[in-house]
Structure 1
Amino acid sequence: MQAPRLEIRDIIRRYDGKPVVNNVSLTIQPGKVTCLLGPSGCGKSTTLRIIAGVEMQDSGSIYIDGNLICDTVVRVPPERRSVGLMFQDFALFPHLSVGENVAFGLKTSASEKRARAKEYLERVGLAGYIDDYPHQLSGGEQQRVALARALAPKPRLMLMDEPFSGLDNRLRDGIRDETLELLKEEGTSVLLVTHEPEEAMRMADEIALMRQGHIVQQGAPYNIYNAPADREAVAFFSDINTIRGEVKGALVATPFGQFLAPGYADGSRVEIVFRPQHVGIDFDRAGKGPSPSAKTGAPARGVVQRARFMGSESLVEFRMDHDGEKLRATVPNVFLPKPGTPMWLSIRRDRCFVFPAS
């Protein structure tokens, strides 16, 4: 059986006695892209620096292709780990030409360095810029040079720390897709640090969701999104709505009908969490709404507070009649009912998550 490209086991890193990376374990298979996703300050970049070898863990071990490269006794130096690095600021040397930047660190002759630099600049569409300098390039071009430089030594593992956040939105998607395609062609395993769920969903074969130094959930993007570990995991990927209730006979009674809550004891307080795109809207007909259904349960009435067009969808906010709480719904295209309009809302039962009340 093939060993994982990267395996980190029980990594702990403390600053002033406080764990910033707390018992983190992670596995990446050859040729796969894993995103370490989480809010700023949760320990993502520290984890990346430990893998790269520019920072030491307090305990735990790291393996590449089954070989120990670092624990609290053994420490393979960064330059011998076959690890490439890409950062947010590109980190190009301003006094070196584009070709010299790409060739920097290669242990070959000058002619071989230039040939390798030209090869990888061709891969990113910049061969004609080999003798130019970084300040002559756009941000997107500098990013491509940084990618070529990281790939030129043919690393087995690429570590990327928010590499696209310095680009404007117009460029970002195209550069991300080009980068991912090139990394896949090279067969390079990737660990990408990001705080943007959309970026992780777009690029990753697997997502490791990190919070306060822990990995709270790891899996394919579809599973992370549709089977979240807790309320905070749902909220990290999208806006959420929450209704609260008490369990009785594995059911929770709400104005939207009963919800299943298997595994919760009678009397438990729970939260039913759902996303705005899973809220259905129907018109009020002289105080009456649509009939209940197995798919959406019973409807509940609310009054429009605000409606905004967001580009590809409309966001409508309601104040619910039964408790005065606010609920949000999103609707494809343009749907802008006037404030004060009564409407009936229903919820997709198969898109609800039940968690213990916070």
Structure 2
Amino acid sequence: MAPDTARDAAGTPVPRLEVRNLRRVFDGRAVVDDVSLRVMPGQVTCLLGPSGCGKSTTLRMIAGVEMQDAGEIHVDGRLICDTTFRVPPERRNIGLMFQDFALFPHLSVAENVAFGLKGSKAEKRARVEQLLGEVGLNRFIESYPHELSGGEQQRVALSRALAPRPGIMLMDEPFSGLDNRLRDEIRDLTLDVLKKEGAAVLLVTHEPEEAMRMADEIALMRDGRIVQQGAPYNIYNAPIDRAAVGFFSDINVIKGKVQGALTDTPFGQFLAPGVPDGQEVEIVIRPQHLKIDFDRGGRGPDPTPQDGVPARGVVQRARFMGSESLVEFRMDFDGSILKVTVPNVFLPSPGKALWLTIRRDRCFVFPAEA
């Protein structure tokens, strides 16, 4: 189904969901603090962040089950909630999916999906069969929830949430109850069905992999605020700070001090534009962007513009992780530990001296954290 996008008087597309300066305070602490976001029809936006950062509270305010202390919520350009006006939850045309599938145990799969649908019996049945067909569950149409696996129950819950054709779908950690083997399969199926329905989707998760896999846009939350928002590629490759890099992957941190917009390190000099002289900085690099080279009688590879100057380290341990190997080095220059991931099997013996270089274009330079 093609998304039905409303337009303003100038013909500009209007967001299906727009949140402006949302705020919620508990016991004097702002658990959601000045959150603003826009979700277009057919778009999947992910609220990503650690537990307790305000993601689920934001979702509950949009759903209407909790009131904000400040801010506005708009659907298709219409105000549905501020601090004085409130459209009831059941009239917001919003579908909900949570960690708990919350299926009615005494109702069949068909009756669960049809629950809350309006129209004739034949119309309801047609919609139920259509959705169950899309998720591959038509053969279970007369079964009961207890007869289904966790993945099958999740697909029924998805069908039930989509049955009334909500313009907006809110999803709060919907895949956390599934085992790892099922998650990727169910995520992909869910994304395919959501795109067909054309709903604007706001997905809450604390798993970066899930956000990268499903979202068109990620809003990274921390301490009640959105600290960075953008396409997954941009969030991953242009993080706002060290914590943003570390949320998506393991990191290595090399410390230095700026002099003349440059930082000297054992791996050579790094640019630090805009950082005042004398300021300490942290050069952050992910384990997959370090390169390992062999020791040549106490010498490493020659320096290059791309990889900089090599530095020597001694292997502490090496582990095979399935699709890659993780090797930990104690560096000669300061005794720090750096981690490197290598595709396939690479398991050098502890105590072996090797040389590391780091991809200059994959490093992030940030002012040192206090």
State whether TM-score is above 0.5. yes
State the alpha-carbon separation in 2 of the partners of residues 5 and 217 from structure 1.
21
Q: Deviations over 1:166-186 (max 9, x none)?
A: 111111111110110111111
Letter paired with 1:116: R
How far off its partner does 1:105 sit? 1.2
CA RMSD of aligned residues (A): 0.8
Aligned to 1:175: 186
- Name the amino acid aligned to 1:288: R
2:232 aligned residue (221, 239, 251)? 221
Secondary structure class of the residue paired with 2:218: strand
The equivalent of 1:335 in structure 2 is: 346
Aligned to 1:305: 316
Tell me the distance in 1 between the aligned counterparts of 2:46 and 2:133: 27
* 2:352 is the alignment partner of 1:347: no
Distance in 1 of aligned mates of 2:139 and 2:349: 57
**Are 1:84 and 2:95 an aligned pair?**
yes
What is the CA distance between 1:116 and its match in structure 2? Answer: 2.2
Question: How many residues matched?
Answer: 358
TM-score (normalizing by structure 2)? 0.95
User: Distance in 2 between the 1:249 and 1:305 partners?
Assistant: 36
Q: Which deviates further from its counterpart, 123-132 or 263-272?
A: 123-132
2:28 matches 1:35: no
- CA deviation profile, 1:67-123 (whole Å, cap 9, x unmatched): 101001111111111111111111101111111111111233444333322222122
Per-residue CA shift, 1:216-250, capped at 9, x if unaligned? Answer: 00000000000000000000000000011110000
For 2:277 and 2:228, the matched residues in 1 are separated by 28
Letter in 2 for 1:310: M
Paired residue for 1:55, among 49, 54, 66?
Answer: 66
Give the structure 1 partner of residue 78 of structure 2. 67
Q: Where does residue 9 of structure 2 map in the other structure?
A: none
Give the AA of the match of 1:120.
L
- The residue type equivalent to 1:246 in the other structure is K
The AA in structure 2 aligned to 1:258 is: Q
Q: Does 1:244 align with 2:265?
A: no
Structure 2 Cα separation of the partners of residues 106 and 16 of structure 1: 39
Shifted more, 122-131 versus 12-21: the winner is 122-131
Please state if 1:135 is matched with 2:146: yes
> Aligned ranges for residues 1-358 of structure 1 at < 5 Å?
1-358=12-369
Separation of aligned partners in 2, 1:331 and 1:19 = 43
CA distance in 1, matches of 2:215, 2:353: 42
1:17-59 C-alpha deviation (Å, 9 max, x unpaired): 1111011011111111011000011110110010011111011
| Alpha-carbon distance in structure 2 between the residues aligned to 1:294 and 1:272 | 17
Amino acid at match of 1:357: A
**Amino acid across the alignment from 1:119:** Q
Instruction: Write the distance in 1 (CA, Å) between the matches of 2:361 and 2:29.
Output: 40
Q: Bigger CA drift: 24-33 or 125-134?
A: 125-134
Q: TM-score scaled to structure 1, two decimals?
A: 0.99
Which stretch shows the higher mean deviation, 281-290 or 121-130? Answer: 121-130
Question: Could you tell me which amino acid in structure 1 is paired with residue 244 of structure 2?
Answer: A
Amino acid at match of 2:93: S
User: Letter of the aligned partner of 1:297 in structure 2?
Assistant: G
Identity %: 75
Shift of residue 146 of structure 1? 0.4
Post-superposition offset of 1:282: 0.4
Q: One-letter code of the match for 2:278?
A: G
Segments of structure 1 that go 5 or more residues without pairing to the other structure are none
Distance between the aligned counterparts of 1:43 and 1:260, measured in 2?
A: 36
Question: Using the alignment, how far apart are the partners of 2:353 and 2:139 within structure 1?
Answer: 62
Gaps of 5+ in 2: 1-11
Which letter does structure 2 place at the counterpart of 1:99?
A
Bigger mean CA offset, 254-263 vs 106-115? 106-115
Read off the aligned partner of 2:156 and give its amino acid letter. V
Counterpart residue identity of residue 281, structure 2: V
Which deviates further from its counterpart, 109-118 or 149-158? Answer: 109-118
**2:180, 2:275 → 1: CA distance?**
44
Shift of 1:130: 1.8
Query: Structure 2: how far apart are the matches of 1:313 and 1:122?
Result: 38
Letter in 1 for 2:87: V
Amino acid in structure 2 at the alignment position of 1:168 = D
